[in-house]
Structure 1
Amino acid sequence: MTRKEITHFLQTHKKEMARRFGIQSIGLFGSYARDEAREDSDIDIVVMLNSEHLADDYFGVLHYLEDHLQHKIDLGLESNLRPEIRNRIKEEIIYV
């Protein structure tokens, strides 16, 4: 997969994921966002969820992405980014 393919997928499925899982925003970061991914790289995605069923929706999004992209996903909640890495990650996130 390429950065372009992943961001295209996220863009075209964003409305469905918003409806099903309460996604407010979604973006790609990490090695795929930097075009440095290797064959064994996971896909790093960050989301902001607006949900009272946060755990269910988090795992729903995770499984949805892994099923559709057929790749290991490292899914992070924007609100839970560790302070020591938050700024670096926010600089490289490609929001769709």
Structure 2
Amino acid sequence: MIRQKIIKILQEAKEEIRIKYKAEMRGIFGSYARGEAKQGSDVDILVNFLEGATLFDFVGLANYLEEKLKIKVDIVPVDTLRREIKDKILNEAIYL
């Protein structure tokens, strides 16, 4: 799947995701953001979980996005990024 299609799908789902999974979509990073994705690459997605979000919201969001995108996804909450890689990830991210 091409990057623009992924971004479009994520943008269209932002409001539903915020309501249903208590999460704000921030952007994508990794191989898809850099234009280096290959067959089998997953999509790395930055999110901010809202107050009251649970593990069920995290898992539900991952399942929802994998079904919607037809690609394996890695959900990465911004506040869990390790300090030593945070700047690199935030600089390469394509924000929604």
The answer to whether the superposition gives a TM-score over 0.5 is yes
Aligned length: 96
One-letter amino acid matched to 1:18:
R
Q: Deviations over 1:5-47 (max 9, x none)?
A: 1000010110110110112332111000111101121111110
Partner residue of 2:28? 28
Q: Any stretches of 5+ residues in structure 1 without a counterpart?
A: none
Superposition pairs of residues 14-25 of structure 1, within 5 angstroms: 14-25=14-25
Normalised by the length of structure 1, the TM-score is: 0.93
Q: Is the 8 A contact 1:51 1:57 kept in 2?
A: no
Within 2, Cα distance between the matches of 1:38 and 1:24? 27
Q: Deviations over 1:29-68 (max 9, x none)?
A: 1000111101121111110010323311111110110111
Partner residue of 2:63? 63
Alpha-carbon offset, residue 85 of structure 1: 0.6
* 4+ residue runs over 3 A deviation: none
The alignment-based identity, stated in percent, is 39
Normalised by the length of structure 2, the TM-score is: 0.93
Q: Secondary structure at the match of 2:15?
A: helix
Cα separation, partners in 2 of 1:75 and 1:88, compared to 1, 3 Å: same
Within 1, Cα distance between the matches of 2:50 and 2:75? 16
Within 2, Cα distance between the matches of 1:52 and 1:18? 12
Q: Is the 8 A contact 2:30 2:43 kept in 1?
A: yes
Within 1, Cα distance between the matches of 2:91 and 2:54? 25
